[in-house]
A and B are shown apart, each in its own frame.
Chain A
Amino acid sequence: MMGQRPVARESVVFDSIVPIEELVERDGLRELCQSFHALFGIGVRLYSVDGTLLAAAATDQELCSEVGASTVGRHACTATIAGVVSHDPGAAREVVVPCFTGASYYVAAIDYDGRRVGRLIVGPYVPVQTAGPPSTLNEAVPGLDPEKARLLLEKMPRAKPETIRRIGTHLKSALDLILFSGHKAHMTSKMHLASVRESYRELADKNERLQEAFDRLKELDRLKSQFLATVSHELRTPLTSIIGYSEMLVQGLAGEMRPDQLEFVRTIHDKGEQLVKLIMGLLDLGKLESGTMRVILRPTRLEPVLGEVVSTMAPLARKKGVRLDLSLSQTTALPEVQGDSERLRQVFINLVENAIKFTPAGGEVTLRAAVAPTDGEQDTDSQEDGLSVMAPTLWPVEVRVADTGIGIPVTERERVFDAFYQVDSSSTREHGGTGLGLAIVKRLVDAHAGTVFIEDGRPRGTVFVVALPQAGSASHG
């Protein structure tokens, strides 16, 4: 797979050596040592494999303090302790190291997962069979009173070698469980992180490929629009000649024609005009889609725009036998909208032309404009969620183009704004039209930050609603 991110090569879980310090919780270890110390009265110390003290619980022994009081005694003691701490129990895994005082230290290896990870030291304790202080004590600390030494040695905890070994074994198995749990948690978290990272890598990879596909589609779309624009432009030039020459023929500039010839040429002329409209529509659509159509938004009054639309469309309505009405309040003027009057005129011409086309003779087409929400027209179904807080400070101006025509089924209402879409393909033949009018309306209204939709709940006919933001209102949602 080309372009894929490489899979991480390091092995997440295998045989990495994890130091004991990372697997265990030190405070917990100290508590464990303390509980052993409280139980047996013997000191317990845990070291990592490199000799770092991990946890300890011990009480000072009076004999040790007495020995430590003299310089020679202190030196001898330090040397013994250093020997105990650094003593590796080897393959036997445990060893007893005697102290010159007559006490002993039990040293056991802590092995985990087949590796030595640390040592535990139990002591000092006095083996039960010890009768009194050995000669080594007197040799190491000559000034110590033998009787005092005997008394202090007796105060030290005494234990049988088997007991000490049992304590050690128990401590080791408790530690093994702690290490295992720690290791398990360590591996789980490591694996979890790696899984998340791996899933992220896969997703990022997919996203990248989706983005590439999306970019390619966008480029294709751009090429399509460009092609459409170029073809439309190139078609227009010869078409202008066809219309011009047919017009001259109709006007008799090339001599008088017979009535049937005249009708043929008129048909050529009409179809040419129809084709020009389609091409202009395509050009507009192309410009709107590519964003090259200039829409200059400025405070605009709607009354003159709508008035002009009605006077432009009146002849068509009359010819079709449809009544065309403009209903505006006589008392209050509409607020200005943020718009481009030329483009708005195009919007309403398209809508009114469409309405007339689909209204049979004797019907009517009405244009009404008002500031939303129009009182008394709201039914419970159209109440919006959270309107009380979501409502804009300036309501949009809504223009309704209502007809008494064939109507548009509810299921088709979204799609009528798609380019070239017609509710019923037979309607193109019956009513004519390019299927571009509403697509252009939608894009022009969008360019005004407005909305266009078909109103619900009309028993017959269709009501297109164009809502345009008032001049001075902030763009909302």
Chain B
Amino acid sequence: MQINFGGREVALKLVYYGPALSGKTTNLRSLHELTVDGARGRLMTLETKDDRTLFFDMLPLAFRAESDKGGHVGMTLRIKIFTVPGQVTHASTRRLVLQGADAVAFIADSQIAETEHNAASFLDLRQNLKELGIVPKDMPVVIQFNKRDLGSIRSDHDIETLARRGKEPVFAAVAVNGQGVLETFFALLDVAWRKLDGQHRLAEMLGIESNELLPMAAKQLGLSVAIPKLLASSVAGSLERYLQGVQ
């Protein structure tokens, strides 16, 4: 997080992590398509000719947090969403992109054959966090099981069992047609916000309550979705349990 008091700006960094070809860039593209111009900027992709992410993708969002309450002049909440390159060889780039992240969405591939790659990438995430001097359990992480529309995937029952046993909130998605993309994003924003609010009293500074942030963001992105309904779609109530745990 960066706070610019002079410019009355707060900037958050959200990072989409995961194994190669799990759909990190697809999530960003869908998010870009589902929202309207204005609050969200142009999607920046730095990729090779065969559509593999080279350095990162970046989607900037900027929200005006106007407050009716006295004493607050309103601030801008800037959110930068990054994806890391998934290919194993880009290890140092992944670490550089991860630097300064406020929360991580881990995009896992649901295909059974990819299970090992998911695990290896999650270990890589933890290792990189450690090397950046961050205790992995201090980093809010939301997990998305992507590609739920394919064959030979881990069953819903499997995912539910895993979500119940694991610590992180879990969402199911088909990012390529936008399914689960907003759910994952708003849950990620929620966990990041709560974490930072606890540390830096963001709500007080921006003059906006935690429960107002998500609807405000949705409105400025041109979305007519019910936030509570989106968040309630986490697998086996894993988001609610997570939020109870951090409070």
Which A residues fall within an 8 A CB radius of B?
7-15, 17, 113-115, 176, 180, 183-184, 187-188, 191-192, 194-195, 198-199, 202
Contacts and interface: CB of A to CB of B under 8 A. Distances in A.
A183 B133 CA distance: 29
Interface stretch (B96-104, B164-172, B196-204, B227-235): B96-104
B55 A192 contact: yes
B41 A12 contact: no
B41 to A, nearest CB: 6
B76 A198 contact: no
The 9 A-B residue pairs with the shortest CB-CB distance in the complex, in nearest-first order: A114-B62, A11-B100, A198-B92, A15-B11, A191-B55, A11-B99, A195-B93, A199-B92, A12-B96
A192 B85 CA distance: 13
B82 A13 contact: yes
Nearest to A198: B92
Nearest to A202: B92
Q: Which of A11, A115, A192 has the most CB of B within 10 A?
A: A11
Interface string B126-153: 0000011100000000000000000000
A191 B95 contact: no
Interface of B: 2, 7, 11, 13, 41-42, 44, 46, 55-56, 58, 60, 62, 76, 78, 80, 82, 92-93, 95-97, 99-100, 131-133
Nearest to A116: B7
Given A180-B44, A184-B44, A195 B60 contact: no
Given A14-B99, A199-B92, 7 more contacts: A13-B56, A14-B13, A14-B80, A15-B11, A114-B41, A176-B42, A188-B46
Nearest to B64: A114
B82 to A, nearest CB: 7
B76 A114 contact: yes
23 contacts: A7-B99, A8-B99, A9-B133, A10-B99, A11-B99, A11-B100, A12-B99, A13-B82, A14-B11, A14-B13, A15-B13, A15-B80, A114-B41, A114-B62, A187-B46, A187-B55, A187-B58, A191-B46, A191-B55, A191-B96, A195-B55, A195-B93, A199-B92
B96 A194 contact: yes
A474 to B, nearest CB: 46
B59 to A, nearest CB: 11
Contacts of A192: 55
Contacts of B42: 176, 180
B195 to A, nearest CB: 17
- Between A7, A17, A183, A195, the greatest number of chain B beta carbons within 10 A of the residue's beta carbon is seen for A195
A115 B41 CA distance: 11
Contact of A114 (B44, B55, B78, B133): B78
Contact of B62 (A113, A180, A184, A188): A113
B93 A13 contact: no
B100 to A, nearest CB: 4
Contacts of A10: 99
Contact of A195 (B82, B92, B133): B92
Nearest to A183: B44
Nearest to A112: B41
Contact of A184 (B46, B76, B92, B131): B46
A11 B2 CA distance: 10
A191 B60 CA distance: 17
A245 B52 CA distance: 83
Contact of B58 (A13, A17, A198): A13
A3 to B, nearest CB: 14
Contacts of B56: 13, 191
Most chain B CB within a 10 A radius of its CB, from A14, A184, A202: A14
Contact of B60 (A11, A12, A113, A194): A113
A184 B54 CA distance: 13
Given A7-B132, A187-B58, A198-B96, A14 B2 contact: yes
Nearest to A201: B92
A411 B73 CA distance: 85
Given A191-B55, A195-B55, A114 B60 contact: yes
A17 B78 CA distance: 12
Contacts of B41: 113-114
Contacts of B2: 14-15
Nearest to B41: A113
Contacts of A7: 95, 99, 131-133
Given A7-B132, A188-B46, A13 B97 contact: yes
Contacts of B55: 187-188, 191-192, 195
Contacts of B99: 7-12, 14
A17 B100 CA distance: 16
Contacts of B78: 15, 114
A324 to B, nearest CB: 64
B100 A14 contact: yes
Nearest to A10: B99
B30 to A, nearest CB: 20
Contacts of B7: 17, 115
A12 B96 CA distance: 7
A332 B44 CA distance: 82
A114 B42 CA distance: 11
Contacts of A180: 42, 44
Contacts of A187: 44, 46, 55, 58
Contacts of B95: 7, 198
A19 to B, nearest CB: 14
Contacts of A114: 41, 60, 62, 76, 78
Contacts of B132: 7
Nearest to B55: A191
Contacts of A198: 92-93, 95-96
Contacts of A113: 41, 60, 62
A191 B96 CA distance: 8
Contacts of B13: 11, 14-15
Most buried by B among A13, A114, A115, A194: A114
A191 B100 contact: no
A398 B42 CA distance: 76
Contacts of B100: 11, 14
A17 B11 CA distance: 12
B61 to A, nearest CB: 8
A8 B97 CA distance: 12
A15 B58 CA distance: 11
A427 to B, nearest CB: 50
B36 to A, nearest CB: 14
Nearest to B128: A7
A439 B113 CA distance: 55
